[in-house]
Amino acid sequence: MRPHLIALAAIAAAGLVLAYAVRDAVVLDLVFTLLLYATLGQSWNWISGYGGNISFGHAIFFGCGAYTSALCVVHGISPWLAIPAGAAVAALLAAITGFPTLALRGHYFSIATIAVAAIVDALVRTQGWLGRANGFELPIAAGWASMQFADKGWYVVLALVLFVAVQCATLALERSRLGYYLRALRANHQAAASVGIDERRWKLIAFAWSAAMAACAGVLYAQYTLFVDPPSTIALSVSIDIALIGVVGGIGTLWGPAAGALVYVVLAKAVALKLGGTGKGYDLVIYGAIICVIAALRPHGIVGTIVDGIRRRRGAAAQPPARLAAEGAA
């Protein structure tokens, strides 16, 4: 546990220094995006990595946060209130949708999440008070009360706080009863049920937490981008991005989503900024090739591969992988 906390503290310190010292908007933008996607990936990891129910609809929870934030601003309510409100709405939505779907096995759960996301998407597009397809353009403001800052450093600080909080929560998850149950259910749900683990109950709890964390990221996104509409928040493509981050980094590991976000943001976004102007899509080719290589050669993701390597060196293959994943990455 301690090495992880030290690593987190180091990241937090480095992030704070960066937010204070760096004035390059592009670098700060990358750091913010990196932290945001790492948080989103980790929230996905709770239900899909530890719980083993691969979700392709996670963007709707992200969207819950973003839309709550937008609605708050439009109605003159402080966006800070959107953090608890958005998280609560997302958790409720997760509970409602998870109750019938979490019992589905394998691909069926994934298909169900796609269906739920499509329903939410269609709903948002037809509801006037949700802005329909037009979405919301949030007015420019400044200051803490409106959660908007001319200085990007503050956004990085907020994203950092959220990221550290989510990492700590995940660290706690790994040591908690919920975490052990989830991993037991993932490994063999029949064996887990035979010792009295209530699958639906524990997975619902994990799903609700997962959704709430994604919603917090959504609030931050809305206040940063100042534009919320269905394609940029709740669309299937956003859900796939979130899932890819988890898979590329290594599912069911503490540092997997962060590693995945590093690939996604640094390679996809940075290369897009440098090479995107050519209009030849080199950035997408490079990003796609990296995903293919990782998927073909290292299906456990980046962190999973590192963990495997350490395990082989120690000759301790018998130990449970998730625990090692936690230790190995530190």
Partner 1 sequence: MSARRVCLAFAAAIAVASMPFASRAADPQEIVIGSILPLTGPSAQTGAGLRTAQTLAADLVNGHVSYPLPMVGKSGLPHLGHARIKLVFADSQGKPDQARAAAEQLITQEHAVALIGTYASSTTATASQVAERYGIPFLNPDSSAPSLTARGLKWFFRTTPNDATFAENFYQFFADLNRTKKIAVKKVAVVGEDGLFGTGAGDAEEEIGKRRGFTIVTRVAYPATTTEVNAEVQKVKAAAPDVVMMASYAPDALLFMRGFKDQGILLQGILAQDAGFIDPGFVKTEGKDAEGVFTREVFSLDIKHRNKAVPLIDQLFRLRFGDKPLDGNTARDIMGVLVLADAIDRAGSTKPDAIRTALQNTNIPGILTLMPWKQIKFDAQGQNVGGVGIIEQIQDGKYETVWPFDVAVKAPIWPMPAWKR
Decide: is 326 part of the binding site for partner 1 (CB under 8 A). Answer: no
CB of residue 108 to partner 1, shortest distance in Å? 23
Decide: is 288 part of the binding site for partner 1 (CB under 8 A). Answer: no
Q: To which H or E segment does residue 137 belong?
A: strand 136-137
Question: Using CB under 8 A, which of 9, 25, 119, 145 touches partner 1?
Answer: 25
Task: Say if residues 54 and 101 touch (Cβ distance below 8 Å).
Answer: no
- Identity of the amino acid at 312: R
How buried is 317 (Cβ within 10 angstroms: 0-12 exposed, 13-18 middle, 19+ buried)?
Answer: exposed
Question: Using CB under 8 A, which of 11, 95, 141, 232 touches partner 1?
Answer: 232
Binders of partner 1 in range 113-152 (CB under 8 A) = 122, 125-126, 132-135, 137, 139-140, 150
**Which one of 59-67, 84-92, 179-187, 307-315 is the stretch in contact with partner 1 (CB under 8 A)?**
307-315
Give the integer Cα–Cα distance in Å for 64 and 96. Answer: 14
Decide: is 279 part of the binding site for partner 1 (CB under 8 A). Answer: yes
CB of residue 92 to partner 1, shortest distance in Å? 25
Decide: is 214 part of the binding site for partner 1 (CB under 8 A). Answer: no
Helix axes 82-101, 59-74, angle to 10 degrees: 150
Per-residue b or e along 123-138, where b marks 16 or more CB atoms closer than 10 Å to that residue's CB? ebbeeeebbeeebbeb
Residue bearing tokens 């949708």 = 97
Decide: is 21 part of the binding site for partner 1 (CB under 8 A). Answer: no
Of the pair 24, 75, the CB lying nearest partner 1 is at 24
- Identity of the amino acid at 172: A
3-class secondary-structure state, position 252: coil
**Which one of 167-175, 182-190, 203-211, 308-316 is the stretch in contact with partner 1 (CB under 8 A)?**
308-316
Decide: is 196 part of the binding site for partner 1 (CB under 8 A). Answer: no
The closest alpha carbon to 117, from 65, 76, 62, 166, belongs to 62
Binding site for partner 1 (CB under 8 A): 24-26, 29, 33, 122, 125-126, 132-135, 137, 139-140, 150, 221, 225-227, 229, 231-232, 262, 266-267, 269-274, 276-279, 281, 283-284, 290, 297-298, 302, 305-306, 308-310, 313
